[in-house]
Amino acid sequence: MAITASGSIEIAAPAAAVFAWLTERDKLAQWVGGNQAQMPASSSELAVGYRGTAQYPGPGGAEQEMELEVTAVDPPHQFSYRQTYAEGVTAVDYLLTESEGQTHVIGTSITEWKTSGTDMFKQVEQQIASLPSYAQEISRRQLEQVEQQMQHTDTNPAVEAEMDRQFAESLEKLKRTVESGAPSV
């Protein structure tokens, strides 16, 4: 199941400054938060094919490994990477265009979950089969409603809307952080 989130924003700073906030470990940690050990100590080490790993809290809080691979880097115009983790793979692309000291950032994130919607429905069906008969009927009706909502897509529109909201919020945080030159709260 793939979920795409995208957005764009204008930042009152030159593209080179914005690019630094996307690629430098310490700056990235200020607006994204968390462990950014997957990034090189110096952004000058970034090149297509660069790989780095970091630990992050997964479902239930257990530490899991995430690998980052740079797929495109063209300072200060583009930075793209792929993150691989237990639940799936996310490809992220940032395009930067500067005009009169302002930078227009377009960002796209495509997450491919290892479990497809069809696989999830099969798993839920198996779980429903183990329920008492009265609960099976109720559960199957609820599952049918969800399947109808997802009829023309392998994703849930509510999940896609939430991912878009979170991506837009991330771009807003990037804007606040870059424009203030300090960590955002």
Residues 105 and 122 in one domain: no
Residues 105 and 131 in one domain: no
pTM over 0.85: no
Q: How many domains are there within the chain? A: 2
Residues 69 and 133 in one domain: no
18 burial (CB, 10 Å; 0-12 / 13-18 / 19+) is buried
Residues 80 and 147 in one domain: no
Residues 68 and 141 in one domain: no
Residues 25 and 102 in one domain: yes
Residue type, 160: E
DSSP 31: H
Q: Is residue 185 part of a domain?
A: no
Residues 168 and 91 in one domain: yes
**Structural domain of 70:** 2-114+155-180
pLDDT averaged over 10-residue windows placed end to end, the chain, 185 residues: 87 96 91 84 92 79 85 97 87 96 94 66 72 75 66 64 86 94 53
Residues 51 and 127 in one domain: no
Q: Is residue 140 part of a domain?
A: yes
Burial code of 144-157, b = ≥16 C-beta within 10 A, e = fewer?
eeeeeebeeeebee
